[in-house]
Amino acid sequence: MATLFFNSELEKITECRQISIKSNTYRDFIEEILNIFPDLQGSGLMEMALAIDGEIIHEPLLVAIPDNSELHFVFKISGG
């Protein structure tokens, strides 16, 4: 299982700092998270990047979630 760590903004919604995730694909992962925390639906979660073991993935839609990985949602930052 992977471990998802919530940033302080998401922690306000979920009221927890981290959870274990069973899903192995990003789509299943998002579905699992939204089933557990339906209040995340309007949180902008889908607009965030996903960091898997420190590697930031800006378009994670087709990414596999490795077992025992550490996951973090990351706000995308645009530069100019």
- pLDDT tens sequence across 7-33: 999 999 999 999 999 999 999 999 999
Give the residue numbers spanning the domain of 64.
2-74
Mean pLDDT, residues 58-67: 90
46 in any annotated domain: yes
**62 vs 21, residue with greater confidence:** 21
In a domain, residue 79? The reply is no
In a domain, 80, yes or no: no
Q: Considering the domain boundaries, does residue 56 fall inside one? A: yes
**Do the domain assignments include residue 70?**
yes
List the one residue out of 77, 73, 78 whose CA is nearest residue 19: 73
Q: Is the pLDDT of residue 77 over 80?
A: no
Does 80 have pLDDT greater than 70?
Answer: no
Question: What pLDDT was estimated at residue 46?
Answer: 82
CATH number at residue 21: 3.10.20.30
Q: How many domains does the chain fold into?
A: 1
Q: Is the pLDDT of residue 79 over 70?
A: no
